[in-house]
Structure 1
């Protein structure tokens, strides 16, 4: 029974994962990290121009299919930085898309992850980070942050004193309009 429920969940997720970017207002691909920083979209489409971008997220496809100006092109995900979809930016790492949720000082990402919830699987947002736009994406954890920023003793000590669990790292401070971990990092490097 668990297998059937898991298969149903996967099929339902696949329906949502097979996104076609042409359905949104302005979408496109970031070919490089510099393109992302400069907001330069390649294969830009509005959805009303006959162009489309198919991401093929289901079953871990390694290719994106672009139809642009009447020409079809297949691009490997490993050859592009990411994409913009529905006013949200994503980065590819190991052919998986990560939603970029913050890029100040270091990068925070989220991505859906299936976890066992009672008798059936549930999709939750898991959080990740990278120290630069092109460095490896790692799970957001106290241990990974301390390892990555081993040379920043002040930040390591702040992590130890301010966060008891890895889940606490996703705390958002609406007064400062930033994630608490980003605030602490910024202040650990400014003094």
Structure 2
């Protein structure tokens, strides 16, 4: 009985969260990578305009539902590049949304994963990358970066000498206002 109450509470929270996300300040869909690059949102919605977008992330649906100017439309996530919500951009890959956290030179993403901590699971951000806007998204790891950039030995050697673990790749340097791995990539191509 207690488990059922918890599940019902989680469903209510998820519905409220989805509605809140759909009614963020500005949201919309990026139908293509070019739309993302040009920051061209389709079905752009703002608070109180009567339009909405449901991303259906909680239940793992493969569809996005748009209500725009009174018309309901459904899109497969696999046919949509991504979306904007709550002042953040997301890219779909295999129907999973990845938050774009940096798109200069190559793309860095984050996505929450449930991690067991004691009796409970807790969402923890995991990090990913892609070499271009349309390349496959891979886990951010030393091995994957070195594999993706075989044609840039300077970058591979910089990774090897500056990072001992995969977790270190997410280090952010507030003095230069960027991720260290991005800084090293930039300098590997400008030398």
Confirm whether residue 25 of structure 1 aligns to residue 25 of structure 2. Answer: yes
Q: Distance in 1 between the 2:21 and 2:104 partners?
A: 26
The correspondence of residues 41-80 of structure 1 with structure 2, limited to 5 A, is: 41-80=41-80
Count of aligned residue pairs for this structure pair: 188
**Structure 1 unmatched ranges of 5 or more:** none
**Structure 2: how far apart are the matches of 1:90 and 1:106?**
15
Measured in 1, the distance between the counterparts of 2:66 and 2:57 equals 14
1:166-177 to structure 2, matched below 5 A, reads: 166-177=166-177
Moved over 6 A (4+): 6-10
Mark the CA change 1:74 to 1:20 in structure 2 (over 3 Å): closer, same or farther.
farther
Measured after TM superposition, the shift of residue 117 of structure 1 is 1.2
Instruction: Say if 1:22 and 1:46, in contact at 8 Å, map to a contact too.
Output: no
Unaligned runs of at least 5 residues, structure 2:
none
CA contact (8 A) 2:22 2:55 kept: no
**Any residues of structure 2 matched to 1:80-99 within 5 Å, and which?**
80-99=80-99
CA shift in 2, pair 1:10/1:134, >3 Å: farther
Structure 1 residue aligned with 2:39: 39
Cα pair distance change 1:186/1:168, threshold 3 Å: same
Cα offset, 1:28, TM superposition: 0.5
Measured after TM superposition, the shift of residue 18 of structure 1 is 2.9
2:108 and 2:16 map into 1 onto residues whose CA distance is: 23
Query: How far does the alpha carbon of each residue in 1:81-111 deviate from its partner, in whole angstroms, 9 at most, with x for none?
Result: 0000011000000000000000000000000
* Distance change (3 Å), C-alpha of 1:127 and 1:189: same
> Could you list the per-position Cα deviations for residues 127-184 of structure 1 after superposition, in whole angstroms to 9, with x for gaps in the alignment?
0000000000000000000000011111111111100110100000111110000000
**Alpha-carbon distance in structure 1 between the residues aligned to 2:155 and 2:175:** 21
TM-score (normalised: structure 1): 0.91
Q: TM-score, normalised by structure 2?
A: 0.91
1:163 and 1:8, CA in 2 relative to 1: closer, same or farther beyond 3 A?
Answer: farther
Match for residue 137 of structure 2?
Answer: 137
User: Are residues 82 and 54 of structure 1, via their aligned partners in 2, closer, same or farther at CA, if it must alter by over 3 Å?
Assistant: same
Question: RMSD in angstroms over aligned alpha carbons?
Answer: 2.1
